Amino acid sequence: MITPLTALGPVLRGRVLFAVPTWVPRFVLTFDDGPHPATTPALLDVLARHGAHATFFLLGERASAYPELVARIAAEGHEIGNHTWRDEPTWRLAPAEFREDLRATQRVLAAHGPVRWFRPGSGWPTPRHLAIAEEEGLRCVLGTAVAISGAGAGTATTARWLDPVVRRGGIVVLHEGPQRVGVAGTVDGLLERTARRGLSAVALSDLA
């Protein structure tokens, strides 16, 4: 159910962020593939109830379609990251197409605040894509724990499985959007469990 990514760190050490070294009892909560009315409002409600914050890696296509959701994400103190234009494997894109997708998404998101992070679709950048993102002023972020059940949104048992692997400085990856309405429940359960261990969820720039 959980895919640890820490073993990949040495491959691109220093260029791809997998975790944030810290003694502070906090971890980073991130969501890919939003915004979408089927999941984003419920996610924001859960985060507000727990006093938690997160980084939302948004698709340009969806951010353009639902600007009011992007505005709400930013207004409630959460961070916005670039997840390229549409939900597809980034590694398949030609360099020129990737750069334009990245820029188009950046133009949409920049209206709502600064954007400094990038996450590739399907979880891994090619060296050329990584260089392009850096040229555009973006740092690549993956994670230390990824929920893969429920199309990445989690199921009724995901919070229980995720909890033991969430540590201070870790980056948790979840997914939202159509067919992923269970993500709010996953987050609710995870935040209840991590709070009992003294851990709080924050946006990436609050820790990095």
Per-residue tens of pLDDT for the chain, all 208 residues: 444 444 444 455 678 999 999 999 999 999 999 999 999 999 999 999 999 999 999 999 999 999 999 999 999 999 999 999 999 999 899 999 999 999 999 999 999 999 999 999 987 888 999 999 999 999 999 999 999 899 999 999 999 999 999 999 999 999 999 999 999 999 999 999 999 999 999 999 999 8
Task: Dig out the tokens for 48 from the structure.
Answer: 């507000």
Catalytic site residue 175?
yes
Name the active-site residue from 32, 33, 163, 188: 32
pLDDT at 13: 60
pTM of the model: 0.93
The residue behind tokens 């494997």 is 89
Name the active-site residue from 50, 78, 175, 188: 175
Alpha-carbon distance 152 to 116, whole Å?
Answer: 24
Quick check: helix, strand or coil at residue 26? strand
Catalytic site residue 50?
no
Long-range contacts of 189-196 (CB under 8 A, 24+ apart): 189/158, 189/159, 189/160, 190/158, 190/159, 190/162, 190/163, 190/166, 191/46, 191/47, 191/50, 191/52, 192/50, 192/159, 193/159, 193/160, 193/163, 194/27, 194/163, 194/166, 195/50
pLDDT at 5: 45
Full set of structural domains in the chain with CATH: 2-7+14-207 (3.20.20.370)
Q: What are phi and psi of 79, to 5 degrees?
A: -105, 150
Q: At what angle do helices 40-50 and 183-196 cross, to 10 degrees?
A: 10
